[in-house]
Structure 1
Amino acid sequence: MISGARLALFALAAAACVTASGVEARSAVRAQAGVASWYGPGFHGRTTANGERFNTHALTAAHRTLPFGTKVRVTNNSNGRSVVVRINDRGPYAGGRVIDLSNASARSIGLSGLAKVSLARM
């Protein structure tokens, strides 16, 4: 049988493990790097994955897993320019890419095709 003091210590240790792993999981989502692309002309006015109309002139983006409404700072690694976008769609569907930017978002960081970027969740 476990004494009350030992049980309390065990519970405290278990809580510390859960908290530590939760912090690690959150920080892993906070920063990401990879290739960004942009999408727009053929999708303008269509419904996004979160149900709103896609506006190629808005500072929005598509990400595979971040919750809708999440704000992300996207930094173009080649020129240091950055923009804060709101996730409102799912994608990118092309392999090896981490985010799809609206035309306005891409232009604001000097992206005209593909670029290596860093993402930071706000």
Structure 2
Amino acid sequence: MFVKLSLAAALSSIAICPVHAESGLAAFYGGGRTASGEVTGRTALTAAHRTLPFGTRVLVTNLRNGKTVVVRITDRGPYGRGRIIDVSHAAALELDMIDSGTATVSVVRQ
């Protein structure tokens, strides 16, 4: 009985808590036609994520320097091994990751 009650409490907390958070490696891309049908350029604050719905806004934080940016999911990917998100060139500038090409980030759904 206790196990069923605990499971019910855990599942209900997940259902009412829409926050999606993860940490991992990010890279950046230049833009172009996206899986959502949009055409984005180097100045757009957009990103590619494997599973989040198009239009979802996420807060991306560079864990090395604490810099943050809010991006909108417009594409699918990343397809590179070990990465959790690809951000646009403009977002990479905000995160100060242009020189390194990649950064360890946290991604939190807004």
Q: Does TM-score exceed 0.5, indicating one fold?
A: yes
User: Which ranges of structure 1 fall in alignment gaps of 5 or more residues?
Assistant: 1-12
Q: Distance in 2 between matches of 1:26 and 1:35?
A: 28
Instruction: Specify the alignment match of 2:20 in structure 1.
Output: 30
Instruction: Specify the alignment match of 1:92 in structure 2.
Output: 78
Q: Distance in 2 between matches of 1:26 and 1:38?
A: 32
User: Which ranges of structure 2 fall in alignment gaps of 5 or more residues?
Assistant: none
| Counterpart check, 1:70 vs 2:60 | no
* AA matched with 1:69: G
Instruction: Specify the alignment match of 2:34 in structure 1.
Output: 48
Q: Distance in 2 between matches of 1:39 and 1:121?
A: 20
| Counterpart check, 1:79 vs 2:79 | no
Runs of 4 or more off by more than 4 Å in structure 1?
Answer: 25-29
| Counterpart check, 1:114 vs 2:102 | yes
SS of 1:100's partner is strand
Identity in percent: 51
The number of residue pairs the alignment matches comes to 104
Q: Distance in 2 between matches of 1:115 and 1:25?
A: 31
Q: What displacement does 1:21 show?
A: 1.7
SS of 1:94's partner is coil
More helix by share: 1
- TM-score normalized by structure 2? 0.84
Computing the radius of gyration over CA atoms, which structure comes out larger, 1 or 2? Answer: 1
RMSD: 2.3
Q: Distance in 2 between matches of 1:81 and 1:104?
A: 13
